[in-house]
Copies of this chain bind each other. A is one copy, B any other.
Amino acid sequence: MVRSNPQRRAALVDAAIEVLAREGARGLTFRAVDTEAGVPAGTASNYFANRDELLTQTGARVYERLVPDEETIARQRTAAPDRETYARLMHELVGRVSAFRSGYLALLELRLESTRRPELRKILTDRVRADLDANIAYHLESGLPGDTTSVELLYLALNWLIVEQLTLPDVLSEAERERLVRAAVERIVVG
């Protein structure tokens, strides 16, 4: 049965990310996803019970694609646990997230759509909270300087930095953004 083909499902969800980023939440229809994925009309509707399910899986897929690869993780774990390393990790994080432009824009669309859909809001809330908790746990066991509050404040500042870069890229120059990542780590990461 086609509908249990996991690669096909992933391709449809990836197509949904592109449609969301390009057309906005209202543009996300099964038909638009079929067209984007280059599959016969009606395919997406065989894979997702309804639009909420498609939206939810799209959000999950963005997070899945943002996980760093094993080489990056291994390199991070062996780096000296100092402020210099922390700053480099944050630069890499901002670079990795903003390089997946459509994914991040799709997440923003999902956040806005979640103000209209309580079920989506609930699922996204759990996902974002779990991600933040995982970042805090990872940080605490990494031996890097800083505390839970550092992770939370960097989460706030760097998310908006990425919003700025992806939506209005000329408000801050690339040099200003780099300077702000460094300054954020210098000031926020204490101890």
User: Which of A's residues lie within 8 Å of B, judged by CB?
Assistant: 21-27, 105, 108-109, 111-116, 121, 124-125, 128-129, 132, 149, 152-153, 155-161, 163-164, 166-168, 170-171, 176, 179-180, 183-184, 187-188, 190
Cα distance A167–B127 when bound, in Å?
A: 13
Which residues of chain B come closer than 8 Å to A171, judged between CB atoms?
A: 125, 128-129, 132
Additional 20 contacts, C-beta under 8 A, given A153-B187, A160-B160? A21-B115, A24-B24, A105-B115, A108-B108, A111-B163, A111-B167, A112-B112, A125-B168, A128-B171, A132-B171, A149-B183, A152-B180, A153-B157, A153-B180, A153-B183, A153-B188, A155-B160, A156-B156, A156-B180, A187-B188
Which residues of chain B come closer than 8 Å to A152, judged between CB atoms?
A: 176, 180, 183
